[in-house]
A = this chain, B = another copy of it.
Amino acid sequence: MRGLVFNAPKDVRVTDVPDPGVVNPTDAVVRVTKAGICGSDMHIYNHGDAFGFDAGCRLGHEFVGVVEAVGPEVRSVKPGDRIVAPFWLSCGECHFCKKGLTTSCVQGGCFGFQAFWGFGGHVEGGQSQFVRVPLADGTLVKVPDELADVDDKVLLPLVDVFTTAYHAAKGSGVKPGQTALVIGDGAVGLLACQAAALLGAGNIVLSGHHDDRLAVGARLGATHTVNSKANADRLGELLGDLTNSFGPDVVIDAISSADSMVHAANTVQPGGTVSWVGMEVFLGAPQLPWDTCFLRNLTIRGGVAPVRSYLPELWPLVISGKLDPSPVLTHDLPLERAAEGYEIMATRAEGSVKVCVSPN
């Protein structure tokens, strides 16, 4: 079959890779119908050698598809079922899975960084025609029958990018009517606006550097958008006007760089929360203003989203039409053109937010 592999920084290729099959009795094999290219894929694309990725590593951890085969112990899905695949393997039965923190699954976690697809080791990449899914019962989620006719592009963001944004919005503790600042106009930032709106936030201020993306954010729920690159002073003025100079109740940091985290901590209102979900912290550690954190009683909360645990509360929103995250998927390419998709995302091409590929 065909699948995408990392060759070297800025060099990914779709090539022939081995057909997957059921190895363990708890495995499933999924025929991928749509796979996303994620911001964390871009970290590998740009810096894969620094992260220890070797040539030949498979990529892709966002995908939806149809079950092709299952091992003898799989009970929750069967061949022909349409599924979504949360981006982290989970057994569904351990201490952390039972608490809903599926990203700390004791079994999924035993792979360490290889607890999800596309990190080169035990687990295959989702940007391919087929994928072997370990721990299928604890990991895969069957799409509700009510959504039989919905487009894959509505479902695909649920396996990572929307749910990561939702995790950030929930983690921020934003309450109805409150003011949220969302930092970053990548797909997670844009969808964090949508998530904050679903949670009832009053003012949702989106800060980014790209007018075209800010426009998508406004469509998804941002009540105010600021191009903070074009107008550095505007954000502070706007937040001051909206909050009686107290600052936003919460900040959702969808960048999580050393700079953005410090900015978030210095901007959020006393007693507020900085909720961060970006992986930029891996590239440079924030030096938080701890005196400010102390004097203002700030909460700093972040982490990798336990997608599977959120799906039960998200399905009704999708079914009712209240949640459609597909506007962030600006490009849909055949799998064979996946490298072009990486290039579009790497260059932040005008009009682009996020690219998906269609392997089948």
Q: Does A107 contact B (CB under 8 A)?
A: no
Query: When the two chains form their complex, are residues B303 and A295 in contact, meaning their CB atoms are under 8 A apart?
Result: yes
Q: Is the CB of B271 within 8 A of A282?
A: no
Q: Which residues of chain B are near A271, meaning CB under 8 Å?
A: 96, 99, 101, 104
Contacts of A96 in B (CB 8 A): 246, 270-271
Q: A285-B288, A285-B290, A290-B286 are in contact. Are A297 and B95 (CB under 8 A)?
A: no
Roughly how many angstroms separate A300 CA and B261 CA in the complex, as a whole number?
A: 13
* Residues in A291-341 with C-beta less than 8 Å from chain B: 291, 293-304, 306
A281 within 8 Å of B (CB atoms): yes
Whether the Cβ atoms of B282 and A103 lie closer than 8 Å is: no
| A297 with B302: CB separation less than 8 A | yes
Contact A290 B281 (CB under 8 A): yes
Interface bracket on A: 20 to 34
- Is A297 within 8 A of B103, CB to CB? yes
For the complex, is A199 an interface residue (Cβ under 8 Å from B)? no
A101: which B residues are within 8 A, CB to CB?
A: 270-271, 297
> Among residues 179 to 213 in chain A, which have CB atoms less than 8 Å away from a CB atom of chain B?
none
A297 CB → nearest B CB, Å: 3
The answer to whether A281 touches B291 (Cβ under 8 A) is: yes
**Complex interface: chain B residues within 8 A of A104 (CB):** 270-271, 296-297
The 10 closest A-B pairs by CB, nearest first: A297-B303, A104-B270, A281-B290, A300-B300, A299-B301, A101-B271, A285-B290, A294-B303, A282-B291, A294-B302
- Name 18 extra pairs, CB < 8 A, besides A294-B303, A297-B301, A299-B300: A96-B271, A99-B271, A101-B297, A103-B295, A103-B297, A104-B296, A281-B290, A281-B293, A282-B291, A285-B287, A288-B288, A293-B302, A293-B303, A297-B302, A297-B304, A298-B302, A299-B299, A300-B300
